Structure 1
């Protein structure tokens, strides 16, 4: 083991404070690193037979999972000679695109050549500790620095073998670290499940607060509006202006500027969970901003995606300063009905079905402005009913947003803990 430098974590559990410095060893010394393999063409080896062999694809794995517990596909026995089987307790990580994210296997499965397996782990450590160490910022930075490729970076087994692994010699300390972080993962999982329940609850309410196909009144109606009669047929265009960026007023990357040098330009990346998200802002020159006054964004407007991730939308529910839209979006302005009500109509099932029905297929899926303008829906005649529905759903959105923020804070806390629980090298 290498002992050239003293390895001490910033944060250490009291019972181990008098223990010696940590050890450092290359991952390839304390485990076996192997690449997956794929029989080709894979379609010839896939099977629906329940007795087939598990076949794991990167796209099948939730990005926030710790464990692999199932696969969506299986392969026949004849494919085994061209792939690699891995076992419960092995770690795997992807070697391209979003590379370096580890997972612990709970099942036996075959992996293709987009996976790297870490197996036959030495008794100086164990899989849970390695999982958190490989997830740490220092390990991920090592992968990012050493990954090969220009446009698409990727890892190979040799790079992964050389990852410096830091660990306390006392495995009880390793276990304590892993248990601490695992407990925090359980809290994050519990809050994530609560978030999904809130989203499901909201979805169910929306299905009942708006008339379903063939109906002209909703299943659930606030008591004060029960005698207001049927909702009326309308379209998006009947309730607002639909504006997009005119082709000859487009822009190039040369028109993009820094913060304070232009207006915010909104695109698909600024819609997360059908809400406005400005963590990754882009700015457009003032010249280009003032060139298109018809798409200057104001509070109460709605942005709607007409290219790429179709149907995503967000209401501008707060002051965001001078802003415009990019060519992938349309802007709904001068809204004559309740703007929040229209927003909930747009994210509801009926409009989203219209989106999928009208989409033009190609390299980039798209909708025309004309199609968006003609989207049909039902609306209550009484503006007070529109407001009541919008306010009710908005209160649920507040709960969802608070839950999202809570999860983000827990993840930040976990990130800070990982940085403190693993040592820095002291010269």
Structure 2
């Protein structure tokens, strides 16, 4: 692909199309039509939603419950497989709301959404176009600025008048095939990442003794005859450094290069530090203590600052810290939490959490194994992240900026 001037052409164009005419710009309603079939008699009960990250998904899967109530579905739009859906709700990942293609099958969508269908079945080009940000400017221009701050206010007729690029069929397909192949690669590598995480999760249930047991189900052969593991209260397994923590309010923080940690990990960077060694942090409060959407225990190293929302523990041996970190992230801590709306793991409860540990020699072997597995997972996560960045950059160059085109 070679570089082109901006304007009626994308920045990058496949060589075989370099001598083809400039791309025409048409309104969306020239290549697609709104779909306004209402769910009369509530014949369709499958409720779909369009999320900024997952695209079109089952509402029950996305919200973990039904939001739409039976008896209120007659006003919902019927959405067939292959239809496109615009959700006007904005977010950090979808600053003007997402447009997604329905690949799940027939369902119904909230009347707040705009449903439309392309005249041609071959519309993968437009699916990819809507994954770019090249159409955002138009919606930002016509949106009612006095509307709700979390939702774009655009009439259906204004939406369907959106300018879209419409190159020849062969060039459309070439671009769609290129970007779809990257999507498939991202999917495969994401599946591999998920498989590695699941593999580690399964191993964690076997590498540590379960409650009531003294040895794990899986053990490295050289330690099979070494006898039972011992259980220690966390307060005696390491040295608590909570007294050294210092919170800094957001308005008082001075920006710098040193990571500032809270319950969820790095939350800012400041110009000073209070720790300069390898330590273990454990979330002290926050809904995540029950939700487990990020690790409860995480290692920090070097010059760092920690506020009072994460406990800080020093261990004599790095292998002990590795085992404790992995163990705490794999077991339920529900019995040690206080508070309901805002769960808390206070110092007294933290100190009595039982931690099963083998000899130092066995700890070192297990720690090396877990570290190697984490490095493999981290490498795979980086692969996925780099592919996503590559796709994001490429897609911006394969489509023109629509206000320039217009």
The Cα shift of 1:298 comes to: 3.6
Q: Look up the match of 1:378.
A: 356
Q: Which moved more, 1:382-391 or 1:30-39?
A: 30-39
The Cα shift of 1:358 comes to: 2.2
Contact 1:266 1:323 in 2 (8 A): yes
Find the partner of 1:404 among 343, 362, 381: 381
Distance 1:355 1:390, change over 3 A: farther
Q: Look up the match of 1:86.
A: 79
Find the partner of 2:117 among 97, 117, 120: 120
The Cα shift of 1:88 comes to: 1.2
Distance 1:177 1:326, change over 3 A: same
CA-to-partner distance for each residue in 1:230-284, whole Å, 9 max, x for gaps?
A: 111211111123344789x543222122225xx42113453xxxxxxx6xx6134
Alignment coverage as a number of residue pairs: 381
Contact 1:69 1:105 in 2 (8 A): no
1:120 alignment partner, SS class: strand
Q: Which moved more, 1:216-225 or 1:10-19?
A: 10-19
Distance 1:164 1:178, change over 3 A: same
Contact 1:38 1:83 in 2 (8 A): yes
Superposed, 1:9-408 pairs within 5 Å as: 9-27=10-28, 30-32=31-33, 53-57=45-49, 63-64=53-54, 68=57, 72=61, 78-98=71-91, 99=94, 100-106=97-103, 107-113=105-111, 116-123=113-120, 127-140=123-136, 148=145, 152-158=149-155, 160-161=159-160, 163-168=162-167, 170-244=168-242, 250-260=247-257, 263-270=258-265, 282-284=268-270, 286=272, 296-308=274-286, 309-310=288-289, 312-316=295-299, 318-319=301-302, 322-335=303-316, 338-349=320-331, 353-355=332-334, 358-362=337-341, 364-380=342-358, 382-408=359-385
For 2:238 and 2:142, the matched residues in 1 are separated by 52
Contact 1:34 1:157 in 2 (8 A): no
Contact 2:38 2:78 in 1 (8 A): no
CA-to-partner distance for each residue in 1:320-352, whole Å, 9 max, x for gaps?
A: xx3112332221224567211221121122xxx
Contact 1:341 1:387 in 2 (8 A): no
- Structure 1: runs of 5 or more not aligned: 40-44, 271-277, 290-295
Q: Look up the match of 1:292.
A: none
TM-score, normalised relative to structure 2: 0.81
CA-to-partner distance for each residue in 1:120-160, whole Å, 9 max, x for gaps?
A: 3244x954222211111323465567765799432234364
Q: Which moved more, 1:155-164 or 1:338-347?
A: 155-164
The Cα shift of 1:84 comes to: 1.9
2:275 alignment partner, SS class: coil
Contact 2:39 2:74 in 1 (8 A): no
Contact 1:22 1:166 in 2 (8 A): yes
For 1:195 and 1:23, the matched residues in 2 are separated by 41
Q: Which moved more, 1:364-373 or 1:189-198?
A: 364-373
For 2:306 and 2:37, the matched residues in 1 are separated by 44
1:156 alignment partner, SS class: coil
The Cα shift of 1:417 comes to: 1.5
For 1:37 and 1:253, the matched residues in 2 are separated by 49
TM-score, normalised relative to structure 1: 0.77
Contact 1:116 1:157 in 2 (8 A): no
Distance 1:241 1:192, change over 3 A: same
Distance 1:134 1:266, change over 3 A: same
For 1:246 and 1:264, the matched residues in 2 are separated by 16
Contact 1:188 1:411 in 2 (8 A): yes
Contact 1:231 1:379 in 2 (8 A): yes
For 2:216 and 2:209, the matched residues in 1 are separated by 4
Distance 1:187 1:239, change over 3 A: same
The Cα shift of 1:181 comes to: 0.7
Contact 2:8 2:24 in 1 (8 A): yes
